[in-house]
Homo-oligomer: A and B are copies of this chain.
Amino acid sequence: MSAQNPANSPLQNSILAALPPKDYARLAPHLEFCEMENGKTLYLPNGPIDYVYFPLRAMISVVAVTASGGSVEVGVIGREGMSGISAVLGVAKSADEVMVQLPDGAVRLEVAKLLQEFSRGEALHDVLLTYTHTFLKMVAQTAACNRLHHAPERLGRWLLMCRDRVQSTELPLTHEFLAMMIGIRRAGVSETALTLQEKGFIRYKRGHITIADEKALEGFVCECYEIVKAEFEEIGSLNSEARKTLAQ
């Protein structure tokens, strides 16, 4: 369904696409297209949420930072989601740092407009809550993965999640950045990436990683990848009619 829309149509985003035409029409005038600058911080930990962002092909990371300087990504947001869900949960501040991971377009919306539509209690309300459930599941899975799985599996999973969101196997990412994301040392990424390359899963050079063998990599990474993906696909297929039926 998204394929038939122009590449920069807000309907590339699954949440917006899931809205019935009438509901979408109320939001549309307030959506602003914005180029996402690579690495830009959208929200600071405990910082205000003024806009929410609906990625089209961009990817956004939610990163937890500790006092000791360590950092790990706890969740990602792509075309399937929206940044700043806390806003609809009644808290206008961000729990963690949120940054642009990979650019390539998003639309943004003022929180006030979002809340206005959300509080009508119609489709947007339901879609965002379902998304919240799935996002929560992803964060929970990440918590488990961070504790139980090893660096190569985690790195592989992360690359695949990237691929799914930006829809490309070419990922402009440095080892330094990857280190922040999966929560290991920069040198650790070099070692880990080498083993993935030796297995033929990926290729890379200076700030650029290519997934060379998608199927093989999918076979290699931990279950967490599939679990989260399945969850997103399941809710993706729920339109708001189906949702009402389920509620009976």
Copies of this chain present in the complex amount to 2
Stretch at the interface among A19-27, A35-43, A132-140: A132-140
Q: Which residues of B contact A95 (CB under 8 A)?
A: 133, 136-137, 140, 231
Q: Which residues of B contact A246 (CB under 8 A)?
A: 90, 92
A136, B136: Cβ atoms closer than 8 Å: yes
Q: A7 at the A/B interface (Cβ < 8 Å)?
A: no
Given A132-B132, A139-B140, A143-B142, A148 and B92 contact (CB-CB distance below 8 Å): no
Q: A130 at the A/B interface (Cβ < 8 Å)?
A: yes
Instruction: Please give me the residue from chain B that is nearest to A230 by CB atom.
Output: B46
Q: Which residues of B contact A1 (CB under 8 A)?
A: none
Interface size of A in residues (CB-CB distance below 8 Å): 49
Q: Which residues of B contact A119 (CB under 8 A)?
A: 121, 247
B91, A144: Cβ atoms closer than 8 Å: no
A103 CA / B90 CA spacing, docked (Å): 31
Most chain-B CB neighbours within 10 Å: which of A72, A144, A148, A224? A144
Q: Which residues of B contact A137 (CB under 8 A)?
A: 95-96
A130, B64: Cβ atoms closer than 8 Å: no
A146 CA / B135 CA spacing, docked (Å): 18
Q: A89-B136, A91-B235, A115-B247 are in contact. List 11 more A-B contacts (CB 8 A).
A: A62-B140, A64-B141, A66-B222, A72-B144, A91-B133, A95-B137, A119-B121, A132-B132, A142-B143, A144-B183, A147-B147
